[in-house]
Amino acid sequence: MKFVDLSTFIGYGISGLMGIIGVLVLTGVLAREGTPVQLRILFGIVLILYSVYRFTMTRARHKQEEGSEE
C-alpha cells in the first residue's frame, strides 16, 4: 500500500480550492457589488486556469516520482 506524499496531497487540495474559488468568483458569490463584470469574469477565469495548471503539474510530478521508484 502506497501513501500519498504530503506535497502531492497539498497540491491537489490547492488545485481544488482554487477551482472552487474561481467558480464562486465567476458566479458573483465572492465578488463585491461594485466590481465590474469584465474584471470578475477575468479573475474567475484566471483562478480556474491556475487550478488546471496546478493539477497538471502536481500530477506530472507525482507520475515522475512513481516512475523513479520502480
pLDDT of the residue at 70? 61
Residue at 56: amino acid letter: T
The angle formed by the CA atoms of residues 37, 43 and 44, to the nearest 5 degrees, is 90
CA separation (Å) from 1 to 4, 20, 60? 10, 30, 21
CB 22 within 8 A of CB 47: yes
Kindly state the cell numbers that stand for 15: 488545485
Domain boundaries, the chain: 23-61
Could you report the average pLDDT of every consecutive run of 10 residues in the chain (70 residues)?
Answer: 77 96 93 88 96 96 80
CB 44 within 8 A of CB 23: yes
